[in-house]
Amino acid sequence: MHLHGTICWIIAVHAFYHKDGIYGILTQSIGLPPSKALKIASGYGLPFCLGASMWSAMEIASCAMNVFEAIFWSVTRKVLPTDWAPQDEFDPTRYPPLFTMPWTRETMCDFWGRGWHALFRRDLVFCAALPISKLFQRFGKSASQIAGLMGAMALSGFMHEYAISSIGRAHWHYEIVAFFMHCALVMLVECLLERYTKYKIRGTFGMLWTYGWLMYLGKPGMDLWIQRGLGEGITPVSQWSWKKFVFPAGTLMPNEWLDVFIPF
């Protein structure tokens, strides 16, 4: 996981510092012949690398927290009074991985429902999906389910949009919201297709279907993040210390943090 995230972030940093991005790296540094098809395809390279790096960092952070929980649980059972200490052994099944092999998901429903992290699932369900589905119950069960789905994805989009807008006090452009809403429409198509034709998208085609849509729909939002300053002030790879390469998710950490974890 660390190796995968480090490689993707190295590519992303090089792309940030090249005036033509990944397309320039491929044609000028590697020597591939310029073409319109390569330019279009390479336009998705930076969003992919950024997304993969963030996924890797979140997974590593989650694993680190799980390890801390296990150590804390074990220590407190030994040092705290009996009335205060946990009575049961540490149960690792209560701390599953943050992500569940998202790269194996064959439908958009499977990706968002099981593959991607569920940190805000409870919030999205109780603050959006359930209330909105209740409002649409008068129109039937299907309309209620569709409204709940759209509401949950819309709230997720607004949460992400607010986060990135608050950093730079930028105006809202709603590309992030549009990404989540379009994903909801793709999920709706998958459900309708399976319900009325009994055909379920799966296999290699399913993976191409899922990640093709994610890359296509996610690019405008990622481009907007880059325009708002994502990537500015990043240290060039040539100036990285060895700590960034060896510490898990160290490529995304400030040097001050790394010095705390590795004080030598």
In the prediction, which pLDDT does 73 show? 87
In the prediction, which pLDDT does 170 show? 60
Using CB atoms within 10 A of its CB, is residue 129 exposed (0-12), middle (13-18) or buried (19+)? buried
In the prediction, which pLDDT does 143 show? 92
In the prediction, which pLDDT does 167 show? 65
CB 128, CB 152: distance < 8 Å:
yes
Task: Determine the straight-line distance between the first and last CA of the chain, rounded to whole angstroms.
Answer: 25
In the prediction, which pLDDT does 252 show? 83
Is the backbone of residue 229 left (phi > 0), alpha (psi -120 to 50) or beta?
Answer: left
At 145, list the tokens.
């389910």
CB 128, CB 155: distance < 8 Å:
yes
* CA–CA distances in Å: residue 140 to residues 133, 145, 252: 10, 9, 47
* CA–CA distances in Å: residue 70 to residues 63, 76, 78, 91: 11, 10, 13, 9
Q: Which amino acid, 85?
A: A
The pTM for the full model equals: 0.82
In the prediction, which pLDDT does 117 show? 84
| Cβ neighbours of residue 51 closer than 8 Å, sequence gap 6 or more | 218, 222
- Calpha distance 74→68 (Å, rounded): 10
In the prediction, which pLDDT does 168 show? 62
Other Cβ atoms within 10 Å of 261 Cβ, number? 11
Residue with the two structure tokens 């709706």:
188
Rounded mean pLDDT for each run of 10 residues along the chain, 264 residues in total: 88 89 90 91 88 88 88 88 82 81 88 85 90 93 92 91 71 84 94 90 93 91 78 82 89 86 86
